[in-house]
Amino acid sequence: MADIGKRIKEKRESLGMTQEELASKLGYKNKSSIAKIETGTNDIVQSKVVEFANILDTTVAYLMGWESIPKNSKRKGVTINVLGRVAAGIPIEAIEEIIDTEEITEELARTGNFFGLQIHGNSMEPRIYEGDVVIVRQQDDADSGDVVIAMINGDDATCKRLRKYRDGIELIPNNPSYEPMFFSNDEIMTKPVKIIGKVVELRGKL
């Protein structure tokens, strides 16, 4: 059932829905049930697949792998700007370095404000490469394990995986050649370290 879990996760993320939100809509007690389904640890009864399909606005056939195109794939999209860089102190809406545009679904667009950001450097390889574009929902917090765009010391924004601890946070690169960056709660305030968005989608350009 790992494939159906993978499709459920892809559809959920394309709609900008959290595991908690999906669990609530389906009547599960907490997000761990959804997490286990998405990783293939837990199976889903056939009747529940219908509920998943309805809530995720797709078809049972797509979730089961019988068809390859999601139901809403031909819906009109929403165009967002792709930025070459995000600098400190400038609101996203005011940044003029627009290098391209990307299209996101209307469902995703309804869940917040979005922008695209071109990746520079290789710290997130092998998953995210130089020149790739990530779709980012603007938000100032995220869950542990999310890939975020963060501002450190007022420099350009960086893309890293967030890990939260009681005494601070860690920004973790995918590339083992780079060391994780830990910031205490005091450093978060004084440097400062600021989360400006969560990566919800990757648009590879290779």
| pLDDT tens sequence across 117-146 | 999 889 998 888 888 899 999 999 999 999
What's the predicted TM-score (pTM) here? 0.61
Residues 105 and 179 reside in one and the same domain? yes
- Domain range for 22 is 2-64
Q: Domain holding 165: CATH number?
A: 2.10.109.10
Number of C-beta neighbours around residue 3 at 10 A: 11
The mean pLDDT of 5-19, rounded to a whole number, is: 88
- Cα angle value 53/73/18 (rounded, 5°): 50
> Residue 112 in contact with residue 184, Cβ under 8 Å?
no
What span, in angstroms and rounded, lies between the C-alpha atoms of 170 and 6?
Answer: 27
- Cα angle value 139/142/105 (rounded, 5°): 60
Predicted confidence at residue 185, as pLDDT, reads: 96
- How large a percentage of the chain has pLDDT more than 90? 35
Query: Within a domain: residue 31?
Result: yes
Nearest CA among 7, 95, 3, 1 for reference residue 52: 7
Query: Within a domain: residue 90?
Result: yes
Question: Where residue 87 falls among pLDDT bands split at 50, 70, 90?
Answer: low
Active-site residue set: 123, 160
Number of C-beta neighbours around residue 135 at 10 A: 23
Question: Where residue 193 falls among pLDDT bands split at 50, 70, 90?
Answer: very high
Q: Domain holding 54: CATH number?
A: 1.10.260.40
